[in-house]
Structure 1
Amino acid sequence: MTEQTEAAEGRHASWLELFFDLTVVAAAAQIAHRLHSAESVGQIAACGAMFYAIWSVWTTTSVYANVAGERTRQRAVLRTMLGIAIMAAAVPGVWPELLPGEHDDAPRGRTAAFVVAFLLCRLIAARSAARDGQLVTFWPATQSVAATPWIASIFVPPTIAYWLWGFAIATDLAFSMVGAANPRSVAEMTERWRKRTEEQDRRSANRLAQLIERGVSPDRLPDASPTLMSVAQVQSGHLSERLGLFVIIVLGEALAQVVAANTELEWTYAVIAASLAAFLLLVQLWRLTSLYGFTPAPRSTKPLEPWQALPAHLGVTAAIVVVASGLGGLIPEAAEHLHARDRWYIFGGLALYLLTSVFAGLAGRAPLRWYLGWVLPSTVVAVLAGVLGHLVPGWSLAIVAWAVLAWFASYDKLGSRRTATDDPSAG
């Protein structure tokens, strides 16, 4: 390994990147607040679409900073930070007819602001990478976005608009995953980029020749040197750190939900039990992140490829936001039977978290013992708690949710130790 590669892999998040992450806190809080009062599948899907848009902007900017390193353009990152802040502030007014809350009091016209800010932020990341001559083939979404469905959504009724968003999101993910995983797609992308770069250089040269013919002074001529194109190489250590930090930020917002739920309540035994179990549940989520990184699955191979890691990261962070919203509704009703919506937020979110771990486990070739002894029982209990949870008070469901994750996390001590004992070549 060269000194340059070692330095790249040893690079950590900069102060600029950490400052940029603060906008995610505000965005996650706004979406969790809306999600908590959602009353239909359509409203939940709308919140999910907004979360994806914000996650996508954060991801494309972080990927750009990953490949740019010390050449990261500070102004580009700060402009994107402002864009995410605008998106977060616009959340309460995006599709008031679809989202919960007082429709008459909801600010209007925020859907256009959200969409425009989203598209501009994605454009900033793409142009910044292009100016550095970097082609990001390991996550093609950094280079472009299917803008037409997003723009069209501004001019159609909300019931049609969110279908357009869904189509755009599915296209975005499919384009990035299939494009990055298929060598032929990568080669075609590189060739298109080469032709595009050559055309831009040819236009610059022609413009320079015209200026010279007009007698423009040499010191006033623009730089027309050829663009040096290169395929960007991911810095795995830095990207894993950035994705892990995002998970910690979302966990912080979940903890804020638990604290906020306690501020105006009488601290009865039920509230104390529910709050303590919710806190311990978040501790288990943090512990799993510290054990396995941002994807909650053991791996027997090298780290996941970006096209595998980033969708898994989306699933994990979305699951945590959903669980946090459910916990915010559980604590005030700790002594009562929990509303079906909040019950399914908690256990449906846990099921999504566990299913995402299956995706990460398959990509990383996790051992069969882990699936059968830890993933399967945990998922079954989570689903049963969602179905039968109306029979018991809320505080007991908080304990069940904690127990599910406690067992899931116990593989590190029980399952991996047993595997090492059974394998003579281990250690």
Structure 2
Amino acid sequence: MADEAGERHASWLELFFDLTVVAGAAEIAHRLQGAESVGQIAACAAMFYAIWSVWTTTSIYANVAGERTRQRAVLRTMLGIAIMAAAVPGVWPELLPGEHDVPGGRTAAFVIAFLACRAVAAGSAARDGQVIAFWPATQTVTATPWVVSLFVPPPIDYWLWGVAIAADLTFSMLGAVNPRMIARMTEQARRRQDERNRRTAHRLAAMIQRGVSPDRLPDASPTLISVAQVERGHLAERLGLFVIIVLGEALAQVVAANTDIAWTPAVIVSSLAAFLLLVKFWRLTTEYGFTLAPRLRKPLEPWQALPAHLGVTAAIVAIASGLGALIPGATEHLQTTDRWYIFGGLALYLLASVFAGLAGRAALKWYLGWVLPSTVVAVLAGVLGDLVPAWSLAVVAWGVLVWFGSYERLVKG
């Protein structure tokens, strides 16, 4: 899809691909509602990162490939994310609270699907001769810890996932700004492509010797290696669409919480506050973009924007889980875990905005007048929220985001 000026937008294939994110976000949000320990929450965070990273690497591949995007590769990755989402309830069953009859093998299915999806994205970009240096994770994965985790007992396997995720993010962020690493990636890709070109030439020669008709011969033109350039507008749109999709799942949580309970005044107030909170998230996304920080003096580089995007989307998933638990118990005191899902999620959202603001050189008064007060109130609500009924916490969360989003209006006014 493109407008008259030729600006590139998300394709129908990409929009169809995004639907799998809904399933993944829903399953993780539901799993969070049953979590009772830091380990269980960390497990959900790790699963969310895995799904997010597969979506990200595939979307980045489509960003640089453009019209050359391999449809089969995207659809295979879509199937992989669907498998990961379906496996979420059974991943690490020993971390599930209480007694659960969980089918075996789901952790292995999740890990294998994750590694396969990352390999598909990397292979597709390599066949096109693209070196995606602005986010190296698109063409590599720290696979060893994931594989080893399948053969070791807990809690070692949990720590291996954490090590792999930390290495993935560190490699991508540091590699994108390290000229030597970029040069090394390019040289390695060139050697691999030269070998592919030689194999293709040998197959072509063998087919000619066998008398294969010229019109049935494959294209033997050598693929040249180039460093891919990001299409910033398209990437910004894709990341923003991901946020909207996660907000949609959060709205589904609010609706589901209202389906089988009495609509008391407290439930109505908390549900309305939750709805307005999600609307405010949407408005901030449309005004600030996925980077959140206002009036950036320069656009963020992908290695800066993508970690911020991870923080934003993870925060919304956590908040959605907390809201789903808050509404049915609107007149009661919200449990500590669910309370911190909401206000810890808000704090993470604000932290992501600080990261984006520092990278984009946002104004100092924004930090002092909006980010700092909003963060203080969110933390205090998380600490002291047991003193007030749950419905009032929904109102507080909405108020925090209203103030945080008032910067542009007040400054311009």
Report the AA paired with residue 242 of structure 2.
F
Measured after TM superposition, the shift of residue 247 of structure 1 is 0.2
Give the structure 2 partner of residue 169 of structure 1.
165
- Is residue 386 of structure 2 the alignment partner of residue 390 of structure 1? yes
Matched, 1:115 2:111: yes
1:56 corresponds in structure 2 to 53
Deviations 1:390-413 (A, max 9, x none): 111101111111100000000010
Task: Give the AA of the match of 2:110.
Answer: F
Q: Which residue of 2 aligns with 1:70?
A: 67
Q: Secondary structure at the match of 2:77?
A: helix
Match of 1:335 in 2: 331
In 2 relative to 1, CA 59–147 (structure 1 residues): closer, same or farther, beyond 3 Å?
Answer: same
What is the Cα-based RMSD across aligned positions, in Å?
1.8
Question: Matched residues in 2 for 1:30 and 1:326: separation?
Answer: 14
Give deviations 1:72-122, integer Å, cap 9, x for gaps. 11111111111111110011111100133643x112111111111111111
Counterparts of 1:299 and 1:19 in 2: how far apart (Å)? 32
1:254 to 250, 254, 259: 250
Are positions 1:417 and 2:412 aligned together? Answer: yes
How far apart are the structure 2 equivalents of 1:300 and 1:34?
Answer: 36
Which of 15, 18, 24 is the equivalent residue of 1:21? 18
Secondary structure of the equivalent of 1:333? Answer: coil
Matched residue SS, 1:97: helix
**Residue 299 of structure 1 contacts residue 361 of structure 1 at CA under 8 Å; is this kept in 2?**
no
- Cα distance in 2 for partners of 1:108, 1:34 equals 17
- The yes-or-no answer on 1:357 pairing with 2:353 is yes
Kept in 2, the 8 Å contact 1:34–1:100? The answer is: no
TM score, norm. by length of structure 1: 0.92
Partner residue of 1:83 out of 76, 80, 83? 80
Per the alignment, in what secondary structure is the counterpart of residue 23 of structure 2? helix
Structure 1 residue 204 displacement after superposition: 3.5
1:12 & 1:221 partners in 2: Cα distance? 35
Match for 2:42: what amino acid?
A
CA distances 1:322-371 after superposition (whole Å, capped 9, x unpaired): 01101111111110111101111110000000001000000111000100
Q: Aligned equivalents of 1:262 and 1:162: distance in 2?
A: 35
Distance 1:158 1:98 in 2: 10
Deviation at 1:207, TM superposition (A): 4.9
2-structure distance, mates of 1:284, 1:158: 41
Aligned mates of 2:25, 2:312 — CA distance in 1: 14
* Comparing 121-130 and 351-360, the one that deviates more: 121-130
How far, CA to CA, are the matches of 2:97 and 2:282 in structure 1?
A: 30
Task: Compute the TM-score of the two structures, normalised by the length of structure 2.
Answer: 0.95
Letter in 2 for 1:85: A
Q: CA deviation at 1:157?
A: 1.8
The aligned residue for residue 231 of structure 2 is: 235
The structural deviation recorded for 1:222 is 4.8
Q: Kindly tell me: are residues 207 and 312 of structure 1, through their superposed partners in 2, closer, same or farther at Cα, counting changes over 3 Å?
A: same
CA distance in 1, matches of 2:345, 2:171: 26
User: How far, CA to CA, are the matches of 1:361 and 1:89 in structure 2?
Assistant: 36
SS at match of 2:133: coil
Q: What corresponds to 1:273 in structure 2? A: 269
- Equivalents in 2 of 1:215, 1:118: separation in Å? 41
1:177-232, CA deviations, whole angstroms, 9 ceiling, x for partnerless residues? 101122232222212222222233234434555666x6554636554332122111
State the secondary structure of the residue aligned to 2:94.
coil
Q: Within the alignment, does 1:143 sit opposite 2:120 as a pair?
A: no
**1:67 is aligned with what amino acid?**
V
1:402 matched to 2:398: yes
Structure 1 segments unaligned to the other structure (5+ residues): 1-5, 419-427
How high is the sequence identity, in percent, across the aligned residues? 78
**In the alignment, structure 1 residue 290 sits paired with structure 2 residue 286:** yes
C-alpha separation in 1, matches of 2:218 and 2:167: 38
Whole-Å Cα distance in 2 between the matches of residues 78 and 390 of structure 1?
46
> Secondary structure of the equivalent of 1:413?
helix
> Aligned partners of 2:304 and 2:348: how far apart in 1?
16
Query: Is the 1:31–1:51 Cα contact (8 Å) retained in structure 2?
Result: yes
Match of residue 37, structure 1, among 34, 37, 48: 34
Structure 2 gap segments, 5+ residues each: none
Name the structure 2 match of 1:186.
182
In structure 1, the residue matched to 2:195 is 199
- Contact 1:92–1:107 at 8 Å: present in 2 too? no
Deviation for aligned residue 1:165: 0.7
